Each structure stands twice: as structure tokens, then as C-alpha cells.
Structure 1
């Protein structure tokens, strides 16, 4: 049975919660300054992820036996998000309208548990589009022994018209899976969204409240994109893929209490395409690729 994280874990997320409340406050009192679409970067040193959060996160994903004295790489938001948002504030954009659209990880070395980490955070690519601002970010995590142990990139947009984009209708024709290899089927539960919220500090109500999600143009509460990313990564690990690089786009929200199915397709000896579909094979929720080391 999958473990459910305790709400009391939020007391270990003071920095993240402080960041969220600052974003909410700025939404109520928006800045009148000009938008600054400029490249930014900052460095942060001696970051020590809280062991209690790390272990509870591994327990939730049932991957604790895979990470002996190390940290799952997809936990990088834990030690980078508060500083990433602080950097993003300098753009003077409405950060309460941010929507993550995907993530890339290059895993060069293990991340040790109970060892200080250093990060270099960059906002390196920005575009002003008709309905949104596209913002790409990079987090380089260094350990005591390795300068670039983990390189993570986040693809995000900041919406100009939140409701119309979130409620955008998608095609519902049947997706052909004959050329794909089935890996796993998983039910995404309300408890998953609650657990990820308590573990990450991301208490955005579209993941926790049906009413607010519907006010935002959604059909109901949806799972966190990075929570799904973590689940998919661990499904690959369960199937003995030694992942060294993974690049995933979040294409359609996954509503809670619905099933997803994970498919792959070999493109070369060490590279695969990845697709995550709904149970009826009408919606592609996530798509991308990953590389492995034999």
C-alpha cells in the first residue's frame, strides 16, 4: 500500500510556504513596475535538504530501497524552488500564474544524503508570446565531489489569460499504441496530490480543491506536474532502466482519481521515446524521451 505523507511535514517547508504567501500577496497588490525579460542567475551554497522530508518523499514513492544514503534526483525542487522564485521576482511578472510545462534532468552523479549542496540557478531563455510568457530555467546542483552532479531544466509559462488556456479543449481521437511497449498502469489518487503538497510545500489549491480548480477553468483537481514526473521516473527505474537523462513535457493535466498508462518506444540502443496516456488512450498527458546507461 502506498504511503501517504503527513500534513505536519509542512512545518519543515517554511521557506517554500513563505515564498508562496509572498506570491499571493503580490497578486493582491501587483507591482506597477515594468516587466523585465532579462537573463538572470544566482548561486546558493551549503544547502542541506531535510532528511525527514527526503525519507518521507522516498517512502511516498515506495523507492526508499533504491536510494541508500542518496536522494532521488527528481527531488531537486526541494532545494531550489524558493531561490528560483526569488530570482523570478526580478522579472516583475505575475508569478501566481506560472504553469510548469515540463522538465529535463541530466543525472551525472548521485546526490548524497546529509551532505551540503551548492546550486547555480539561471533564467536563461524568455519569450513574450500573445497569450503567455515562456520562461526556461536551469538549476545546476553540485556536491562536495562533483561540480555538475545534476543539471535540471524547467520549462514554464506565465499565463496572461489563465482561464481560457487551462480550459482549452483537446482532441479526443484514439491514439494508436501498436508500436509502443506498455510499461505500467497507475491510478493517480487524491492522496498523491496531498502527499506531494505536504512534501514539497506546493499547496496551490488547484491540486487540493475541486471548487478552486473549477474556478480556474479545470474540470477538477489535478496532480502536480513534478509529482507525476517523479512517479514516471520511478516507474522507469522499477523496470530496470538506468536513466542518465530524461526530458518530459507536460501536455495535458491528470485529474485525480484517474488512471494513467506508461508506454515507451526504443529509438536506439540507449534512447527511448516516452508517452503517458489516459486509460482510454485518447489523451497524451506527458511526452518526451530518456537515455539510459547499460
Structure 2
């Protein structure tokens, strides 16, 4: 699939560009008062939107959704646009240099799709900053809703800052038996998809958008944004007729640009708690994304 995003969308990205740049710059400067931060932090609230319909439609099309899936509502993973600035602000509160931070994964719980024609109210907080000796884990949580759909979504985003001199590896824990997987679909990433996703979300990190920078990395190319991997994997699962109420994803290996025929796989049978394992596999057999989904909300989340 090849979708070209118009450059005119960059006019919608100023808040995210400024937010990401500001958080990265502040984190790189020397700090006073030590290296501690209290979690969970005091909540931060923001009122956002409504967002341009052309941007929402282009974002959904890039992710692989059919034209009628999100008529009048926001895709569940559209927080990669509306939440980017706030997540950058929250992550930037951790006393570490975020220029080295990598996206580790996220969890999306969707109770109801938010209407696209209403402003959304977002409440965010920094929930965890912890060090295991090899990396610093920084987790943020967003709660979002509108007037007609309060508490529509809860989202957790996890970033990690690698240690320059990492400690010893933890002993591997015994792993659970691998479930049987069914391939439910494929998607491919074009060389231009890093720039396309940046124009849709405002994340212009040169690792995703500038070929000369990508060629100097060990991947020898730009890599696709983690949230872009998530969006296309999510929509491939939905295109297979599988409902998604909770989506948990952990990024294992980056997706180089371009990459063809990435296989989206879902466990044939759910686990005892109702979750179904998911994964994204390259043609070379490498694992790019792993996680779980729930088709319905249960218990306290319902």
C-alpha cells in the first residue's frame, strides 16, 4: 500500500513539533536538585480539538482502515497525534536525556470511540520512572473523553533510556509455551512512510525521516515510528474482523524502511484471562512487535 500524505498537513503539527523539541532540549540540559522525580505525578489537563477532518481521514487511510470505519469518530490509535505533545511533556519531567529515549510500547483501552466533532479533555500524568540497571523505564498515562463520551480511552505509553554502561543482564525467566498463531493479514512500509507518518502526527525525528541519518545507524536506513507500526498492525487485525477493546504492544525490533509483507499474527485460541497473543513478523522471521489484545472489556474496566 502506498499513501502519499500532502505537505500541507505540516501546518497542523506545530504544537507537537514544539512540544517534542522543547522536551528533548530541556532534558539535555544540566538539572539542579538531583535525579529524583515523584511518581505518580500531579495530573496535567489539556483541552484539544476538534481536529481537521481531512487529517483524520488521511491518518485512517494511511493506517489501512477502510473509508467507512471511522465516519465521524477518532481512530483508537489517533493519540499518536493528539497525545504526542502531552506525552513528550510528561516524559520530559524525568531527569534523563530523552534524546536517547526509545519507544518501548503502549497499552490502549477503548470503551467507546470519541466523536470527531467534539473537543476532547485529556488528563495525563507520569506514572513510573524506574531503573533496572540496563535502562530507565518512563511510563505516562493518558485518560481522554469528550462531553458525550467521558472516560472513553485510557492509554499508557512507555519509553526507555538505555544506560551508557549497562549492568549485567538478568537471568532469563522460563518462558510460557508459544501459542499457535494464525496469520490474519500483511502490510508493507514504503521508504516514504516515515515522512508520511511525520506529516500526520508531527513526529519529525530524523531517525524516521532523514535518509542520511538513517544510513548512519546499524539499520542502514530510516525506521518506521513505533506508533506507525502499531496503527497498521491494529488496522490489519480489524480488517480481519477481530474486535479490539484493549491493545497491548511491545516493540521488539524496528521496522526498516522500506519493508515488505510483514505478517500480522493472532493466537488461534485465547488465554485463560481472555487475552489473545499478537505479533508482527518480517519475511526474514524477525519479530518486530509482540503483545496481546482483548476483544471485550471485562471486570473493573468494563
The interval holding the TM-score normalised by the smaller chain is: 0.7 to 0.9
- Verify the 8 A CA contact 1:98 1:158 in the aligned structure 2: yes
2:295 is the alignment partner of 1:292: yes
| Counterpart-to-counterpart distance in 2, 1:10 and 1:66 | 25
Taking only aligned residues, the RMSD between alpha carbons, in angstroms, comes to: 2.5
In 2 relative to 1, CA 271–160 (structure 1 residues): closer, same or farther, beyond 3 Å? closer
- Verify the 8 A CA contact 2:51 2:117 in the aligned structure 1: yes
Deviation at 1:15, TM superposition (A): 0.5
Aligned to 1:45: 47
- Verify the 8 A CA contact 1:38 1:91 in the aligned structure 2: no
Deviation by residue 1:206-228 (Cα, 9 ceiling, x = unmatched): 11223323434433211111001
- Verify the 8 A CA contact 2:24 2:92 in the aligned structure 1: no
| Counterpart-to-counterpart distance in 1, 2:250 and 2:76 | 17
* 2:232 partner SS: helix
Structure 1 residues 92-101 or 228-237, which shifts more? 92-101
Task: Provide TM-score, normalisation by structure 2.
Answer: 0.84
2:243 is the alignment partner of 1:245: no
Q: What 5-or-longer segments of structure 2 have no aligned partner? A: 167-176, 298-302
Aligned to 1:273: 277
* 2:10 partner SS: helix
| Counterpart-to-counterpart distance in 2, 1:272 and 1:11 | 39
Aligned to 2:59: 57
* 2:99 partner SS: helix
| Counterpart-to-counterpart distance in 2, 1:186 and 1:110 | 24
| Counterpart-to-counterpart distance in 2, 1:185 and 1:87 | 34
| Residue-pair matches, total | 280
| Counterpart-to-counterpart distance in 1, 2:91 and 2:64 | 33
| Counterpart-to-counterpart distance in 2, 1:9 and 1:46 | 17
Aligned to 2:225: 224
* 1:66 partner SS: coil
Deviation at 1:156, TM superposition (A): 1.1
* 1:182 partner SS: strand
2:95 is the alignment partner of 1:92: yes
- Verify the 8 A CA contact 1:108 1:244 in the aligned structure 2: yes
* 2:192 partner SS: helix
Deviation at 1:24, TM superposition (A): 5.1
In 2 relative to 1, CA 261–95 (structure 1 residues): closer, same or farther, beyond 3 Å? same
Q: Which has the higher strand share?
A: 1
* 1:111 partner SS: coil
Q: What 5-or-longer segments of structure 1 have no aligned partner? A: 165-175
Deviation at 1:46, TM superposition (A): 4.7
In 2 relative to 1, CA 22–224 (structure 1 residues): closer, same or farther, beyond 3 Å? same
- Verify the 8 A CA contact 1:31 1:92 in the aligned structure 2: no
- Residues 113-262 of structure 1 aligned to structure 2 (within 5 Å): 113-161=116-164, 179-259=180-260, 260-262=262-264
- Verify the 8 A CA contact 2:90 2:140 in the aligned structure 1: no
Deviation by residue 1:125-146 (Cα, 9 ceiling, x = unmatched): 1112323210111111111123
Task: Provide TM-score, normalisation by structure 1.
Answer: 0.87
2:21 is the alignment partner of 1:21: yes
Aligned to 1:12: 12
Q: Which has the higher helix share?
A: 1
Deviation at 1:79, TM superposition (A): 1.6
